[in-house]
Structure 1
Amino acid sequence: MSQERLEALRQALAEQQVQGFLTPRCDEYQNEYVPGSDERLAWLTGFTGSAGLAATAGERSALFVDGRYTLQAAQQIGSQPIEQQSLTPVDITNWLCEALREGDTLGYDPRLHTEPGLAPLKKRFDECGIHLRALDANPIDSIWKDRPATPSGAARPHPLAFTGEESTSKRQRIAEMLAAKKQDALWLANPEVCAWLFNIRGSDIPHLPVALSMGFLYRDGSATLYLAESATSDALRQHLGRDVEIVSDKASLFVAAERQHVQKVWADPLLTNCWTLHELRNREMQILLERDPITVAKARKNTVELEGSRAAHIRDGAALCEFLAELPGAVGSENFGELEAVDLLRSKREQREGFTDDSFDSISGYRGNGAIVHYRVTQESSLPMHAEGIYLIDSGGQYPDGTTDVTRTVALGDFPEQAKGQFTRVLKGHIALATLRFPKGTCGEQIDAFARKSLWDVGLDYAHGTGHGVGSFLSVHEGPQRIGKATTNVALEPGMIVSNEPGFYLTGEYGIRIENLIFITESQNYPGFLEFDALTLVPIERQLIDPALLSDSELGWLNDYHKKVQETLSPLVNEQTRAWLVAATAPLARA
C-alpha cells in the first residue's frame, strides 16, 4: 500500500515542481496527539507512533524515529521501500543532502513546521545548494481520497471547581506579562493554551480533551478566539463573556488583531507554525519570539488542581488494582491476550466517577512486545497471555479533576531469574528520584542520573526520558518541564507534575518500567529546597524484587508506600481486590 502512496506522492510533487517533501507527525497546532484528518504520517508509511518524520526525496523515502519507536517502526515498515533512520536534525539533514541534488527543491507544508524546527535544515541546504519551499497546499491531502473530516465538536466550559481560577483572572495575569514586555498581543498557538486560558475543554482530539482553537490575547485582557461554528453555544458565549470575541474563520483572527491596532505580537517559536508567522509579518507586525508565558503558568498547578489530581489518582488507582487483581484469573483463558487486557482495564476505569477517556493508547506488552517502549497493541500484534513471563501495562485516564499515567510490570508466573535484578535496579532508580531533595532552580536534566545510576552500575540504561510533565485534564505529555538527558534549561517549580519512570528493555524478551506521577513541593524542613510527593497509588510487583539489592531506606520507602496504597484504596475496591491488595502490599524484608 505504501509503495502506491509513495508513487502517488512523487507524482503530486512533480506537478508542483519539487523533488522532495517532508511529512511530520503533527498538525497545524503542533499537537502530539492529532485528529484522524492529520494522521498523514501513518497514512503514508503505516507508522503509528506519536513522534516521527517521513522524507521523500527523488526515488528514496525514509522514516525518522527516536529510540522509543525503533522496534515499532521496523515492524510497521516491514518490507516496504522505506529506510529507517534516527530522528535527529543531523541525521535528517545528512540523509536529505545525500538523496537530493544541488538545485533540487524540498517542499514542506508551512502549517506543520516551526521555524526552529526547519533552521538546521535551511542552514545545511544553503551550503549544499538545495532549496526549501513552502507549499500552498499539502500534496498528501490531494491523494488521500478517504481522508477524514477535521473534527469540530462542542467546546464546553470547564468549571471553577476543577480549574481553581476564573478565566478573567488568568487573562489579566497573562496580560500584565504582555504589558511588562511592551507587547500588544500574545498569539495563542494551540488548543491546550486556549483550554487553560479560557477554562474550556472539548473532544476534538483522541485522549486530549480540547476543542481545536487558536487566538489572540490582548494587553487589556480581552481576546479573540477561533472555534469552529459548530463548537460554539450560548452557554459557551456566556461563560467566555463579552471580552472574548469568537470567530469561525482563521483569517478573521488577523483582521481582529489589526482592528485592535496590534503592532507587537508575542509568539512562542516552538508552538507557532511557519504559516502563522508569515501571516503576521505580512501585516508588518513585529514578533517577539519567546516561550509562551501560559506554558509555564499552566504547568504550575494550583491547590485546587493538585487536590483534584490526588482525587483522580485515587479513583484511577482503585480501577487499576481491580484490573491487576483479576488479571491472573483471566490469563491463560481462551482468547485472552494483550488487546483483551486493554479492554478489561478500560472497563474498570469506566466504572469510576468522571472517567471520560484514556489519556493515551494503553501500552499492553507481553513478553517481547513489552520491550517495545511505545508499543501499541493491534488485533494483528496481540499476543495471547499465559501464566508465565513478564507483562508491562502503561496506561492512564482522563478525569475532569486530573490526568493519570501509570506503568506497572507484572510477573504472570515463572520468569527469567535475571529479570529480578534488573527490575530491582529500576526500582532503586525510581526510589532515588522519589526521595530526592534538590535546591530551587534545578532543572530536570540535572537530576536524571539519579534514576539511572543503579542501572549504570551494571552497564545498563534505557533509551527514553525519565519524566515528562502532565496536565490537569489536559495532555498527558505537557511541557516545559521534563526529566531526561536532553538539556531543557527549565527549572522544576512547586506545583509541577512530572512522571518518574525509569525502565529496562531486553529486546525480544520483556520490558520493565515503574512509573508514578509525582508533584513538586517546597521542603518543610530545608528552606530553598524542593521535594517530590507521590500522586499514583498502585502496588509495585513484589515477586520481581530482590530485597538483598535494596538498602534499609529503600525497603522502608517501599513498605511505607505500600501501606499508604493499601489503606487508601481498600475501601474503594471490591472484595476480591481487597484480598489481593493485602498480599500485594505486604511488608517486604530480607530473607
Structure 2
Amino acid sequence: MSQERLEALQQALFTQQVQGFLVPRCDEYQNEYVPAADERLAWLTRFDGSAGLAAVTTNRAALFVDGRYTIQAKQQIGDQTIEQGELAPSAIADWLCDALGEGDVLGYDPRLHTEPGLAPLKQRLGERGIELRALDTNPIDHIWQDRPATPCGPARPHPQTFTGEGSDSKRQRIAHLLADKKQDALWLANPEVCAWLFNIRGSDIPHLPVALCMGFLYTDGSATLYLAESASGDALRQHLGTQVELVNDKAALFSAAERQHVQRVWADPQLTNCWTLQQLRSREIQVLLERDPITGAKAQKNSVELEGSRAAHIRDGAALCEFLAELPDAVKREGFGELEAVQLMREKREQREGFTDDSFDSISGYQGNGAIVHYRVTPQSSLPMKAEGLYLIDSGGQYPDGTTDVTRTVALGEFPTQAKEHFTRVLKGHIAIATLRFPKGTCGEQIDAFARKSLWDAGLDYAHGTGHGVGSFLSVHEGPQRIGKAHTSVPLEAGMIVSNEPGFYLAGEYGIRIENLIFVKECAEYPGFLEFEELTLAPIEHRLIEAELLTDGERKWLNNYHQKVNDTLLPLVSDKTKAWLEQATQAI
C-alpha cells in the first residue's frame, strides 16, 4: 500500500465522516474475476489474488486473505505498513473491534457487499457500539486518478449447438419455478446467470466470456436485461427476440419491474448486492432471499454440454502434451523461466480449434514458487528454470464447447527424495476421488476426506478445497457444488462438473498438485448411486511415483487412465510429442 494512496483514502474517510472503510476484492456482480476498473484492492494494497479484503482506519490498515494466498500476500505487501490476517469473519471482526472504538463508523460500498457477507461483522461491531454504514459513493473511486473505464464490449449469441437448449426453453423452465414459489420475478444478479439464461457470451471480464449485465425474469418467461448500449447489436436483439426488453440504464431495470407490477422478487442473497436490495425494498417490493434456481440448473450440464466438454478436453489435452513434451528442452535454454513457460503453454493452446482465452491466469511455479498455492507469476517474480527440481503448472482454456482446468507437477531433473512420497500420497487421494461411488444426496464435504486420507496418515494436509464446479464456456470456478471441508449442503448431482485436485506444499521448496476435471454420472451397476467420469486427459508424472505405495487397484486405475490418454491423444500430436506421450503413459 503506497503511503500516498493510503493517506488519500484516509483523508477521504475524514471527508465522509467515517473512521474506517472496507475494500473487498469484487465488483457489483460479486464476480470472482473482475474488470481492471474494479481492482480496487490491488490498486490499494498490491495484492492481486482472487479473494481478499482490506480494512482501513484513520491510523491502521490490514489485508485479510485465505490459506491459498498467505505467502503471496506477504510477498506483495512487502515492506508496506500493513498487517495481515485470515480471511474469516471472526478474524476481521476482531481486528476491527481493536482498531475502532465505540461511536465510530465503518463505511462500506453497498454495491460491493452482500447482506450475508456483512452480517457477522454487523453483529460484532454492533455489540461494541460501532456503526456499519453504507456510503453513497466509494471513496477510492474519487482518488484513483487513472482508473480504467468499465468495459462494455459486444454481447453475442451463443449457439444452441453448444448450449443444448434454447433461451426460450430455459426461461420458461425457470419461470415455472417462479410460479411455484409465488414470486413475480427473479433477480438476475450477475453476468454468468444471464449468460446461461439468454445463451449469450461476451468479453468484458478477463478469462470469463461474459458481458456485464443483470436483469429480471418474469413469470411469463419474458425478461428485462441491462446491457451497455454498445453491447447490444442487431444480431443480439434478433437472438433475444421480442420477449426480452433491453435497457442501458440500471435504474431502468427497477422502473421496468414496476411497470410489470412486480411485488415479490426472488433474489439470491449470495449474489445480490446490498444496493440492489435497497432499491427493491425502497419500492416496497417483498424479497425472497433464497439460492437462485439458475445456479443449480446451470451446474447440471446436459448431454450436449458434456459432449462439448469432452471434445474441448481432448483438444486441450493435446496442447498440454505438446507443452510438456517440449519443456525438458526449453528449460535448458538461457532465459527460460516461469513466465516463458506460461507463454509457451498459451502458444500450444492457441494452435487448437476454438481456443478463445485462458480460463484463468496460469499458475506457473518452479521450486519454492510452486508452494504458493495460487501463485501468479510476474516479470519481477519469474524464476529461471533449470533441468532439476519440481515444476507445477495449473492452467486452463476457454473454448466455445467447454472450459478446462488442469494441473500437472513434473520433475525437470533431480529432485528431493521426499517429494516422491508426497507426490504419491497426493496421487492416492486423487485416485480415491476418481474411483469413488456414492449414494445420491451425498454432498462434497462428505467425500473430501477420501482425498486427504493418505496425506493425513503421514500427518500432512493442504489448505485449499479438493474440488470446485466448472462452467460450460463460463467460469472456471462455478457453484453451488464443491468438494472441501467447508459445509455446503449441496448434493452432487448427475451432470455436474467438478475438479479433483488434492495437493501438498512444502514452503520454500516445492508444490505438488494433480488436477483433473471429472463429471458426476449415474452408476449403471448400482441404482441410486453416482460415480465420476474423467474429462481431463494428460499424463501424470511417472518419475515422481513411489509405486510400492500404490495398491493394486490404484495401479490399475493409473494404467487404464494412461492407456486412455495415449489412445485418445496420440493421433492429435506432433511426431516428436508422440514419442514423449508413449513414454509418459507406459504402464507401471
Fold conserved between structures, TM > 0.5: yes
CA distance in 2, matches of 1:458, 1:104: 49
Residue in 2 aligned with 1:227?
A: 227
Q: Is the Cα contact below 8 Å between 1:365 and 1:392 reproduced in 2?
A: yes
User: Secondary structure of 1:450's match?
Assistant: helix
Q: How does 1:340-355 map to 2 (within 5 A)?
A: 340-355=340-355
User: Secondary structure of 1:410's match?
Assistant: strand
User: Secondary structure of 1:408's match?
Assistant: strand
CA distance in 1, matches of 2:587, 2:566: 11
CA distance in 1, matches of 2:127, 2:204: 42
Residue in 2 aligned with 1:78?
A: 78
Residue in 1 aligned with 2:383?
A: 383
1:114 pairs with 2:114: yes
Residue in 2 aligned with 1:67?
A: 67
State the AA in 1 paired with 2:102: E
User: Secondary structure of 2:463's match?
Assistant: coil
How far off its partner does 1:227 sit?
0.2
Number of equivalenced pairs: 588
CA distance in 1, matches of 2:309, 2:581: 22
How far off its partner does 1:2 sit?
1.8
Give CA-to-partner distance per residue, 1:136-176, whole Å, 9 cap, x none. 00000000000000000000000000000000000000000
CA distance in 2, matches of 1:460, 1:132: 40
1:517 pairs with 2:486: no
Residue in 2 aligned with 1:56?
A: 56
Normalising by the residue count of structure 2, what TM-score does the alignment of the two structures yield? Answer: 1.00
1:165 pairs with 2:165: yes
Q: How does 1:233-252 map to 2 (within 5 A)?
A: 233-252=233-252
CA distance in 2, matches of 1:40, 1:258: 34
How far off its partner does 1:3 sit?
1.6
Gaps of 5+ in 2: none
Q: Is the Cα contact below 8 Å between 1:58 and 1:99 reproduced in 2?
A: no
User: Secondary structure of 1:530's match?
Assistant: strand
CA distance in 2, matches of 1:2, 1:42: 11
RMSD over equivalenced CA pairs, Å:
0.4
Q: How does 1:201-350 map to 2 (within 5 A)?
A: 201-350=201-350
User: Secondary structure of 2:23's match?
Assistant: strand
Give CA-to-partner distance per residue, 1:54-105, whole Å, 9 cap, x none. 0002200000000000000000001101100000000000100000011000
CA distance in 2, matches of 1:144, 1:335: 36
Greater than 3 Å deviation, 4+ residue runs: none
CA distance in 2, matches of 1:453, 1:57: 43
User: Secondary structure of 2:438's match?
Assistant: strand
CA distance in 2, matches of 1:269, 1:70: 28
Give CA-to-partner distance per residue, 1:557-590, whole Å, 9 cap, x none. 00000000000000000001100001000011xx
How far off its partner does 1:332 sit?
2.3
CA distance in 2, matches of 1:549, 1:504: 17
How far off its partner does 1:364 sit?
0.2
User: Secondary structure of 2:179's match?
Assistant: helix
CA distance in 2, matches of 1:341, 1:127: 52
CA distance in 2, matches of 1:19, 1:543: 57
Residue in 1 aligned with 2:92?
A: 92
Q: Is the Cα contact below 8 Å between 1:216 and 1:253 reproduced in 2?
A: yes
User: Secondary structure of 2:266's match?
Assistant: strand
1:467 pairs with 2:472: no
CA distance in 2, matches of 1:368, 1:306: 37
Gaps of 5+ in 1: none
State the AA in 2 paired with 1:515: E
Give CA-to-partner distance per residue, 1:486-545, whole Å, 9 cap, x none. 000000000000000000000000000000000000000000000000000000000000
How far off its partner does 1:204 sit?
0.0
Residue in 1 aligned with 2:581?
A: 581
How far off its partner does 1:182 sit?
0.2
CA distance in 1, matches of 2:341, 2:120: 43
State the AA in 2 paired with 1:580: W
Normalising by the residue count of structure 1, what TM-score does the alignment of the two structures yield? Answer: 0.99
Residue in 2 aligned with 1:362?
A: 362
How far off its partner does 1:125 sit?
1.2
Residue in 2 aligned with 1:47?
A: 47
CA distance in 1, matches of 2:81, 2:193: 39
State the AA in 1 paired with 2:475: S
State the AA in 2 paired with 1:211: A
Give CA-to-partner distance per residue, 1:223-268, whole Å, 9 cap, x none. 0000000000111000000000000000000000000000000000
User: Secondary structure of 2:482's match?
Assistant: strand
CA distance in 2, matches of 1:268, 1:126: 25
